[in-house]
Structure 1
Amino acid sequence: MKSFFKYCAIIFIVFLSIDFQAIAQKKKSDAQGNLFSAGYAAAFIGGLYDAWYPYSALKQHGDFGLGAPARLDGELIMLNGKLYKTEYTGKTIPVTAADSTPYAVVCFFHATKVYKPGKQLAKGQLFKYLDSVLTNQNGIYAIHINGNFKYVKTRAFPPVGQKPYLPLAAMLDKQRFFEFNSIKGDLVGYKLPAFMEGPHIAGYHFHFLSADKASGGHIIDFVADDVTVEVDVLSSYTMQLPQTPDFNNFDFKKDRKEEIKSVENGKKQ
């Protein structure tokens, strides 16, 4: 009799495991082609740096993306489902799922288009090349660029102190820059249309991760040497908003377009 009950318990656990796996696969299938945002870009740029969204939950919405760590402590990148943080010291470390983020955008990356420029291109030149092949001006594109770079310049911010936090554009003097020559690695990012400005960062936005996972940061400049460009064309986007007093009282009436440009480029516009 004991053997019978033990057998039934084993069968139940097996079926339960299969159900959970099926549910997880369905969630991933439902999220395919979707850009997920934890947080609102303009609010983050405006000073909402306190973490609220768990990385464990973020991984349910994607395996590829970028964002910021708690209290603006560096730059965040997700590649192949793994999270890394580049600190203001320049050190890049893995991030544990127990931590949280104030802002991040992710998707389940599945390349639908692959391009090989076949020549050395500076950042502006590569973006013009991408514009020539990604012709839908209102398209949502996830972009993975892998290969050899002649030059890469990145940045990261130090953690903020006490509240009230300054807007990010007022903290440009605190950012730290890192430069690399002849380095192999990955650019993870997006090209988003103008109509998404505000909730997201429109245009190109990339973070870098070196092949040895020791260096990274928000992209300021680069020269691509021999790279492959993979593109996932997304068809929808969803957003989880913070349920915090800071977000509830945030002033969205201020136009932060110029601030976002300054933060993206690492200098006043």
Structure 2
Amino acid sequence: MKNLCLRCFLLLMIFTCLKTSAQQKVADKNLFSAGYAAGFIGGLYDSYCPYKQLKQHGDFGLGAPGKLDGELMVFNGKLYQTQSTGKTTQLADTGKTPYAVVCFFHAEKKYKCNKPLSKSALFSYLDSILTNQNGIYAIHIKGNFSTVKTRAFPPVDKPYLPLAAMLDRQHFFDFKNIKGDFIGFKIPALMEGAHISGYHFHFLSDDKTGGGHIIDLLADDITIEVETLTSYTIDLPQTPEFNSFDFKKDRKEEIKSVENGKKQ
């Protein structure tokens, strides 16, 4: 009887390990979204997804804190928030987010670039190496920057306005001759709406005291790491606000305005 129990225990342990391994393989190369981009852009700023749950799906990514209180970065499994004051701090896992996008980042390819690159030049260079127009790419850029301009929104109260209607409330931060990390993604047009298509980056300084959504940059000497993701999953808010939100409106121009920090 004792041997039978031992065998059952060992079989259970093996099954658990195999199941965990299979779950990890599913999680790897998967882009996980908490919330729906068009809904967030349209004013769904109430938090619903716990940070602890978010971290089960990725150690690398970006998003927003509740009530639009700044910008969120997920880097090396840690959460950081840049507030509208410019203050950047590491967050405990006790909070929640209305919108975030994460993955478990494993660099597959690495590129070095030691010449000055503006934002548009950097994106053109990325286009030249990320050639699958329908590919999902996680991108980590580390290095030295002559200039990084970021932004963060202040917290807001209900009734919430769409993000593009609050561009005059942005707070901008200018960093000079700084080292740090760009955390971001290139999302294909086929995922527009559920995600923000194109390039989307947040910045985190080496000393973890500065950050935010990237508006402009001048890179000096950088290393680019890339992983191609092969699937995506979305966790949708189960709230009355989400259930009644009108998704028929085309928000492409609003998203461009929000990404660039100015009306198009």
Is 1:132 matched up with 2:128? Answer: yes
- Is this contact kept in 2: 1:28–1:61, CA < 8 A? no
- Is this contact kept in 2: 1:86–1:156, CA < 8 A? yes
SS of 1:154 mapped into structure 2: strand
Q: How many residues align?
A: 257
Residue by residue over 1:169-190, the C-alpha shift from the partner in whole angstroms, topping out at 9 and shown as x without a partner, is 0000001000000000000000
- Is this contact kept in 2: 1:69–1:75, CA < 8 A? yes
Is 1:88 matched up with 2:84? Answer: yes
Please list, as runs of the form range in 1=range in 2, the aligned pairs for 1:1-269 lying within 5 A after superposition: 24-161=20-157, 163-269=158-264
Q: Please state how far the C-alpha of 1:72 moved relative to its aligned partner.
A: 0.4
SS of 2:194 mapped into structure 1: coil
Q: Please state how far the C-alpha of 1:30 moved relative to its aligned partner.
A: 1.8
Please tell me the root mean square deviation across aligned C-alpha atoms, in Å: 1.8
- So what's the TM-score if we normalise by structure 2? 0.93
Unaligned runs of 5+ in 2: 1-8
Q: Please state how far the C-alpha of 1:19 moved relative to its aligned partner.
A: 8.1
Matched-pair identity in % = 69
Q: Please state how far the C-alpha of 1:22 moved relative to its aligned partner.
A: 6.6
Deviating 4+ runs (over 2 angstroms): 15-29
**Separation in 2 of the partners of 1:169 and 1:24?**
42
- Is this contact kept in 2: 1:142–1:233, CA < 8 A? yes
**Separation in 1 of the partners of 2:185 and 2:171?**
23
Residue by residue over 1:70-105, the C-alpha shift from the partner in whole angstroms, topping out at 9 and shown as x without a partner, is 110000000110000000000001111110000000
Structure 1, 96-105 or 117-126: larger mean CA deviation: 117-126
Structure 1, 25-34 or 226-235: larger mean CA deviation: 25-34
Q: Please state how far the C-alpha of 1:195 moved relative to its aligned partner.
A: 1.0
Residue by residue over 1:226-265, the C-alpha shift from the partner in whole angstroms, topping out at 9 and shown as x without a partner, is 0000000001101000000000000011110000000000
